[in-house]
Amino acid sequence: MILQGPRIWRWMASSAKLCRQRAWVASAYVTSKQFEALIKKIPERDIDRKIFVRWQLRDLVAGASDLRAYELARENGWRFYVNSELHAKTYLIDDLCAVGSANLTTNGMMGVSPGNKEMLAKTTDLTSVAGWFMELESSSKELDDELFAQIEKAVQGRQIDDELTPADEIKYDESLLTALSSQHDFAIFTHDLFWSMAKELNCNLDGNEQVTRDLEHDFLLLRLNHLRERNQIGNRFLETKAFHWLLNNVKEQAYFGELSSKLHSSLQDDPAPYRKDVKILLNNLLEWTELFGGDYFTLDRPNVSQRITRK
């Protein structure tokens, strides 16, 4: 279904009112007025709230986006990410997805005239949209108060004269550009990984305390009640930090030994886990990926070592 004009905001507002699990927004431009309107629609419950913006210096100086959006995010429990390459407009509210040209601005959402002709297309391809958001997060910088203060200082006193000011002159200085650069590594701990083997999902848990504990841990990762919500496992798996780590570390293909070394280096536990335990954790992750991540990876064993290949 194609949403145009005022129907864009009506869909957004009605979806937000029913939100129970997550609200993920990616919009090159975000104005605080429209972001605040979205915030007010979402119920006050434990919801995963993330917003991704472009926030190039020229965007902020020209008023295409405004600084108040970060303050609203901080006040209302949203994680706020900056990605200078972002151009997409993508919205994921629980399992409802829409992609298109409409920014989270008054012009983009409300169909005001005169203005741009915007649209969003509703999609049922939840797997692709959730995976896209995970990859976006891995290449974005999460903003904190210190970085925000630096951006705020860079914006203050700047003006744009379209005839006299070339676009490439309105940019952050090198130190701030570096601070906002993509974060290629992120902290991961053994508790972020899967402790059970995927084949144990259908086990009879009676009497096997270790398997029960491992599965209980893994369903906490998935934010699911393992007795009633098994049908949601696949989608939730694709949102986990463990799968996110795999996406970030297999660009084309990798063999088990190489990937095991990377995982051992990435883990931030103190004391560091034994290599044999890391291999077990990696094997579990690959089993889960083979079961639920088939849209992203293929796994095979061409020789002795297992290989994972990006699709």
Average pLDDT over residues 114-118: 75
Average pLDDT over residues 75-99: 94
Beta carbons of 16 and 104 less than 8 angstroms apart: no
- 81 in the same domain as 211: no
- 199 in the same domain as 173: no
Beta carbons of 43 and 68 less than 8 angstroms apart: no
Q: Is the pLDDT of residue 226 over 70?
A: no
Mean pLDDT of the chain: 86
- 158 in the same domain as 29: yes
Which helix or strand (DSSP H or E) is residue 16 part of? helix 6-17
pLDDT of residue 115: 64
pLDDT of residue 207: 60
pTM score of the predicted model: 0.65
Helix axes 126-138, 241-249, angle to 10 degrees: 70
Separation CA 205–CA 164 (nearest Å): 71
* Polymer length in residues for the chain: 311
Q: Is the pLDDT of residue 183 over 60?
A: no
Beta carbons of 89 and 99 less than 8 angstroms apart: yes
pLDDT of residue 200: 76
Place of tokens 């290629």: 184
- 146 in the same domain as 218: no
- 80 in the same domain as 44: yes
Beta carbons of 308 and 253 less than 8 angstroms apart: yes
Average pLDDT over residues 15-19: 94
Q: Is the pLDDT of residue 268 over 90?
A: no
pLDDT of residue 195: 93
Residue 92 counted as domain residue:
yes
Picking from 49, 129, 53, 110, the residue whose alpha carbon sits closest to that of residue 86 is 53
Confidence class of residue 50 from pLDDT cuts 50, 70 and 90?
very high
Of 132, 152, 179, the residue at which a domain comes to its end is 179
All residues at 6 or more sequence positions from 149 whose CB lies less than 8 Å from its CB, including other chains:
none
Residue 302 DSSP class: S
Number of domains in the chain: 2
Q: Is the pLDDT of residue 36 over 90?
A: yes
User: Is pLDDT larger for residue 125 or for residue 66?
Assistant: 66
Average pLDDT over residues 25-29: 96
Q: What angle do CA 91, 94, 99 make, to 5 degrees?
A: 20
- 130 in the same domain as 58: yes
- 238 in the same domain as 103: no
Average pLDDT over residues 151-171: 70
Give the Å distances, CA to CA, from 65 to 4, 36, 57, 70, 268: 22, 13, 10, 10, 36
- 164 in the same domain as 208: no
pLDDT of residue 210: 81
Candidate from 141-155, 177-191, 224-238 with smallest mean pLDDT: 224-238
Of 157, 179, 201, the residue at which a domain comes to its end is 179
For residue 90, give both structure tokens.
Answer: 């993508």
CA 28 to centroid of chain Cα atoms? 15
Picking from 177, 2, 32, 181, the residue whose alpha carbon sits closest to that of residue 103 is 32
Average pLDDT over residues 11-20: 94
Separation CA 176–CA 106 (nearest Å): 29
Picking from 41, 34, 36, 37, the residue whose alpha carbon sits closest to that of residue 19 is 41
Candidate from 58-72, 140-154, 201-215, 263-277 with smallest mean pLDDT: 201-215
- 207 in the same domain as 286: yes
Place of tokens 């629980």: 94
Containing domain of residue 36, as a range? 2-179
Residue 184 counted as domain residue:
no
Q: What percent of the chain has pLDDT over 70?
A: 88
